[in-house]
Amino acid sequence: MNPYSTDMGIYMKKLFAYILVVLTTLSASAFTDGTPADSAKVYFRIGHRQFDPSLGNNRATMENLVNHLREVAAADDIERIVIRAYASPDGNDRANERLAEHRCNTMVDYLTRHADVNPALIEALPKGVAWDELRRMVAENPDVPAREKILDILDNTPVWVFDSHGKIIDGRKKQLMDLNGGRTYNWLFANLFPELRNGVAILLYTKSAPAPETTEAPEISESSEISDISEDSDDTGSSVSYDTVEAPQTAEIQRFALKTNLLYDAALMPNLELEWLINDKWSVSLEGDVAWWKFSENKIYRLAMVSPEVRYHINPRARWHGMYVGAFVGGGLYQLQNGGHGYKGEGGMAGLSFGYMWPITKNLSFDAEIGAGYMYTRYKEYEPVHGHKVYLMTKSLNYFGPLKLKFSIAWRFDQTVKLSKVNSAL
């Protein structure tokens, strides 16, 4: 038996063993507990984006948080800081969303200046109207007038109701305003909305993940509805009117992402991957890899592969952000030779993947993924003799183990769609 006939199998096993070590190290360091080590909640005056220390307990809250951040930063123990901003239903939705974004930026600037925090560690997530939090507050407060009717509206009425032509004819806010001739909405406006328009929850995640040190978790439930409706640019946030005439019929969402694996690119194997986010939980992707190089007659590096994948996103922090698991298949062909024996064949694979995606700008994200499973390949082994490739034998290889290692940069595409389609798809 030719002693070189097992070379390819040995090389592949050594390569995958090395990849497994790398993957284990990456997975142990990259994915941490999702529980914040510290948190704070600050309030804003109606329609204002400026932080006011004299409002409520803002001064004491931020002094405590800043002191803690300085200690953690000095120990180089900050993993990330997440700032989530919300707004109340009063005012128009575009202004509320923009106001939440401004408040996020205000707190990013505040922490950067007062706590000496690296802004690269801060993730700002403006969330718009906090409908879920309003429902919780109504359910827990027996003094709310017409409480059962309010809960019914919040549970069963969409944020926007469309007719057959896509025109807005009704909605959750309108029904709340019409309840009891507006008296119930005025009560909500005076007693609950100030709590909702507090604007900002600040969550600290540390590398060592200690137990929480603050007294109250500020997390506000995220609304699952599309809120970017009105084109009105007023930032007052204090209007209680409901205008269905000027509301546009489109919204911007990010449903597609184009990716390239930086590790494969560095290995001279250019690749592209297109991922489609079906909804907050599911996505599908298609990846293609091609390396078609011939450096000399006996130095050949050629590989072409296609791999589709379906992914389930586990409790995503936001769209295109968080942990996911997936199932993939793939197939392709190759020719590999480095001066000595060469190998030419094709193969297929199937397996499971585990990954995490996090945003770095509005449209850019990083995506880290590992994958393992089964691969089968059948190939011909040959050797160069006086300028000819002499066939030796045909072999096959069955392999179980790591199959993917990805560290990709992703560009998320903005897409303008009709709101009625947005509500049904996302």
- Given this model, what pLDDT does residue 241 score? 37
Q: Are 415 and 363 in contact (CB under 8 A)?
A: no
Domain end position, chosen among 198, 225, 248: 248
3-state helix, strand, coil in the chain (%, to 5): 30, 40, 30
Rounded CA-CA distance 277/298 in Å is: 44
171: exposed, middle or buried (Cβ count in 10 Å: 0-12, 13-18, 19+):
buried
Residues 159 and 306 reside in one and the same domain: no
28: exposed, middle or buried (Cβ count in 10 Å: 0-12, 13-18, 19+):
exposed
- Given this model, what pLDDT does residue 16 score? 52
Rounded CA-CA distance 206/80 in Å is: 7
Rounded CA-CA distance 426/419 in Å is: 10
- Given this model, what pLDDT does residue 403 score? 93
Residues 260 and 133 reside in one and the same domain: no
Token pair recorded at residue 375: 């691969």
Instruction: Give the domain CATH number at 267.
Output: 2.40.160.20
Domain end position, chosen among 219, 248, 277: 248
Domain end position, chosen among 223, 248, 273: 248
Per residue in 166-188, pLDDT (tens digit) is 788 888 888 998 998 888 888 98
- Given this model, what pLDDT does residue 405 score? 92
- Given this model, what pLDDT does residue 318 score? 64
Nearest to 357, CA basis, from 414, 273, 300, 245 = 273
- Given this model, what pLDDT does residue 117 score? 81
In sequence order, which residues have a C-beta less than 8 Å from that of residue 236 and are 6 or more positions away?
Answer: 46, 47, 91, 95
Positions in the chain short of pLDDT 70: 1-35, 91-93, 127-128, 197-199, 209-253, 316-318, 415-426
Residues 244 and 260 reside in one and the same domain: no
Rounded CA-CA distance 395/7 in Å is: 11
Length of the chain: 426
- Given this model, what pLDDT does residue 272 score? 95
Q: How many domains does the chain have?
A: 2
Residues 321 and 292 reside in one and the same domain: yes
Residues 193 and 50 reside in one and the same domain: yes
Instruction: Give the domain CATH number at 59.
Output: 3.30.1330.60
Rounded CA-CA distance 228/226 in Å is: 6
Rounded to whole angstroms, the maximal C-alpha distance in the chain is 95
Residues 122 and 24 reside in one and the same domain: no
Rounded CA-CA distance 347/73 in Å is: 49
Residues 96 and 200 reside in one and the same domain: yes
Residues 17 and 48 reside in one and the same domain: no
Q: In what order do the strands lie in the sheet with 38-42?
A: 38-42, 200-206, 78-87, 122-129
Task: List the domain range (segments joined by +) for residue 112.
Answer: 38-248
Token pair recorded at residue 295: 């450096």
- The number of C-alpha atoms within 13 Å of 53 and in the hemisphere containing its C-beta is 6
- Given this model, what pLDDT does residue 258 score? 94
- Given this model, what pLDDT does residue 1 score? 46
Which residues is 322 bridged to in the sheet? Answer: 357
Q: Which residues of 108-136 are buried (b: 16+ CB within 10 A; e: fewer)?
A: bebbeeebebeeeebbbbbbbbbbbbbbe
Per residue in 6-57, pLDDT (tens digit) is 555 555 555 555 554 444 444 444 434 456 778 888 888 777 888 888 888 8
Residues 55 and 198 reside in one and the same domain: yes
DSSP 226: -
Rounded CA-CA distance 279/250 in Å is: 18
Residues 271 and 320 reside in one and the same domain: yes
- The number of C-alpha atoms within 13 Å of 36 and in the hemisphere containing its C-beta is 21
Rounded CA-CA distance 249/416 in Å is: 10
Q: Which residues of 307-333 are buried (b: 16+ CB within 10 A; e: fewer)?
A: bebebebeeebebbebbbebebebbbe
Token pair recorded at residue 388: 């000819």
- Count CB-CB contacts under 10 A for residue 410: 20
Pairing of strands 78-87, 200-206: antiparallel
Token pair recorded at residue 202: 């600040």
Residues 46 and 24 reside in one and the same domain: no
- Given this model, what pLDDT does residue 308 score? 96
Residues 226 and 347 reside in one and the same domain: no
Token pair recorded at residue 66: 């800043």
